[in-house]
Amino acid sequence: MSGKTVLVTGGAGFLGSHLCDRLVEMGDDVICVDNFFSGSKQNIKHLLGHPRFELIRHDIVRPLFVEAEQIYNLACPASPKAYQYNPIKTIKTSTVGMVNVLGLAKRCGARVLHTSTSEIYGDPEVHPQPEEYWGNVNPVGPRSCYDEGKRVAESLCINYHLAHQLEVRIVRIFNTYGPRMHPDDGRVVSNFIMQALHGKPLTLYGDGLQTRSFCYVDDLIEGFIRMMNQTETIGPVNLGNPGEFTMKQLAQAVLEITGATSGMTHEPLPQDDPKQRCPDISKAEKYLNWRPETNLHQGLQRTIEFYRHVSEAQ
C-alpha cells in the first residue's frame, strides 16, 4: 500500500531522515516534523522541494494539528550526550510529547508506531533480552530521563489502545548505526570512527568487555515499515542485530577498516552503563519475517566512508 499521508516526528534525525527517504521512495506523502534539538536540516536537505515531502519545524511538547494516516514517532534525543544535555526536555518529549502524538492520532484515526528503546531494559539481569523482561532500571540515575521517559511512553501507547482502540505499534530499538549519525553524538560507533580518522586512541570504558549488538540503519528501517504495516501484533517487538560484540572487538574492527594505528586507551566505566545488551528477535522473525541482513564489517565500511566525506568537507 502506498500513497498514504505519513507523519514522521523527529524526521530530521539520524533514523528519521532515513525513514523519510524510504517512505518518499515508496510513494507516500511525508510530513517531517522536527524541532532540530538533535536533528539536522542537512539530513533531509536532499528532500526539500520534493513534491511528496513537507518539513515543519515544531516541538511535539506543544500540540500539533495536521492530517495523517500513519504516524512514526521518533521524536526524542537518543544518545546519552544529547538526552543528558537537557534531561527535563528529554522526559517531557517522551511524556507530554507522546500524549500530544497519541491525541493527534486519535483525532485523525491514524495508526502510530512508537520507537521505544532497549534502554528500558536498563542493566539487564536476563540475557539476551526478550520483550517479556521488565528490566533493571535506576529510576533516579543519570540515564533515567531517557529510560523512564520511554517506559512511560510505552504505557501511554498501551493505555490509549485499551481506552480508545487506537491502533498502536511499539518497537524497541537496539544499538543502530550508519551514515548521518552525528559525528559528535557520543555513541560508541561514531566515537570510535572519528577517533580513528583523526589518529587518536579509541576510548574504551572499563575493561572494554561490555557487549552491544549493532544493527545497520537500513535493516532497522525495514523493520519499522514491516511493523507498521502488519496486523498480527501491537508489540512491543525488539528490533536489533542479535550478533553480540564486546567494545574491544568493535574498536579492533574500526582500527582494521580505517587502517588507523592509534590503538586504544581506557577510562572509568560511567554510572549505570549496561554490561550486556543483545536482543531476542524471535518475535520480529515470527510476526515481521524480519532479520538483519547487513553484517558488522559491511555496515562499518559504509559508515566509515560517510564519516571520511564529512571530515574532508570540514
β partners of residue 9? 33, 73
What does the H/E/C string look like for the chain?
CCCCEEEEECCCCHHHHHHHHHHHHHCCEEEEEECCCCCCHHHHHHHCCCCCEEEEECCCCCCCCCCCCEEEECCCCCCHHHHHHCHHHHHHHHHHHHHHHHHHHHHHCCEEEEEEEHHHHECCCCCCECCCCCCECCCCCCCHHHHHHHHHHHHHHHHHHHHHCCCEEEEEECCEECCCCCCCCCCHHHHHHHHHHCCCCEEEECCCCCEEECEEHHHHHHHHHHHHCCCCCCCCEEECCCCEEEHHHHHHHHHHHHCCCCCEEEECCCCCCCCCCCECCHHHHHHHCCCCCCCHHHHHHHHHHHHHHHHHHC
- Spatial CA neighbour of 142 closest among 269, 272, 277: 272
Which listed residue (146, 160, 177, 307) is catalytic? 146
Q: Is 121 an active-site residue? A: no
Strand 244-246 and strand 211-213: the pairing is antiparallel
Contact 51, 72 (CB under 8 A): no
Phi/psi of residue 94, nearest 5 degrees: -80, -15
Catalytic residue numbers, as ranges: 146
